Amino acid sequence: MSMDKSRRSLEQMDKRTSVEASAIGILGGTFDPIHYGHINSAVQTAKWLQLNQIVLMPCHIPPHKNSPSATAKQRAEMVSLVCKEQPIFTLDDRELKRSTPSFTIDTLKELKANNANTIIYFFIGMDSLLNFTTWVQWQEILKLCHLVVSARPGYDLTRLNQATKKLLANHQAIDNTVLKYCTAGKILFSYNDLWDISSTAIRQNTKEKKSCKNMTPNAILEFINKYQLYR
């Protein structure tokens, strides 16, 4: 699936009525490279929330991370390979086309401008939740979407920092039924199966010529080998 085709798919989705496209999930990240930790967790969460569409959104210059190893084009192409294999995923490359850091608030405003009635579930990890109150205009973000936090089963929420505890006290939803009655502003924990996989481990294994089997789809491994990434 080409980036242009994937982008057109999302634009078409943006133009549907709220009945036809009442909710979407969004998973952003560097995807350097994308792997089964991203893929399986997102699919499991989408099934739990009864979502039919997950938008994968690679960021260009991540505000909270080091610059990616692969180019923006290469990371988008790897995400496209996943979209081709699993139709639930759609690539949105809008953040890759920016020359400035990728701020979530800018992306959400663009999406809402195109389809104000669509409910957005923004998928993040526990590490992102812990620094969410440092994100640019984080209060405005919660006016535009729900946060769905991927957490490990048994995670001790009492160990959270005070800013995050206050955030959850004001916004946490106990279960996903609550989300049916509001369009934004809730934070919900999704306790998925544990996939102990990271992009860092894949890059390191590749550099050391170790196997990355079962860490990411074969199509991604073939792409990495073809373009000699992470050597």
Which 3-state string (H, E, C) describes 158-220?
A: HHCCHHHHHHHHHHECCCHHHHHHCCCCCEEEEECCCCCCCHHHHHHHHHCCCCCCCCCCHHH
Nearest-angstrom CA–CA distance, 151 and 144: 22
Q: How many CB atoms lie within 10 A of CB 28?
A: 20
| Residue 123 clears pLDDT 80, i.e. is over it | yes
pLDDT of residue 14: 46
pLDDT of residue 154: 63
| pLDDT bracket for residue 158 (50, 70, 90) | confident
| pLDDT bracket for residue 20 (50, 70, 90) | very low
Chain mean pLDDT for the chain: 87
- Region 38-67: what's the mean pLDDT? 87
- Region 180-202: what's the mean pLDDT? 88
Sketch out the chain's domains with CATH numbers.
20-196 (3.40.50.620)
pLDDT of residue 2: 52
Closest CA to 171 of 151, 193, 191, 141: 141
Q: pTM for the full model? A: 0.85
Name the more confident of 89 and 65.
Answer: 89
Name the more confident of 210 and 191.
Answer: 210
Place of tokens 């000699």: 228
Give the H/E segment covering residue 139. helix 138-141
- Region 36-65: what's the mean pLDDT? 89
Name the more confident of 147 and 18.
Answer: 147
| Residue 221 clears pLDDT 60, i.e. is over it | yes
pLDDT of residue 52: 95
Name the more confident of 72 and 67.
Answer: 72
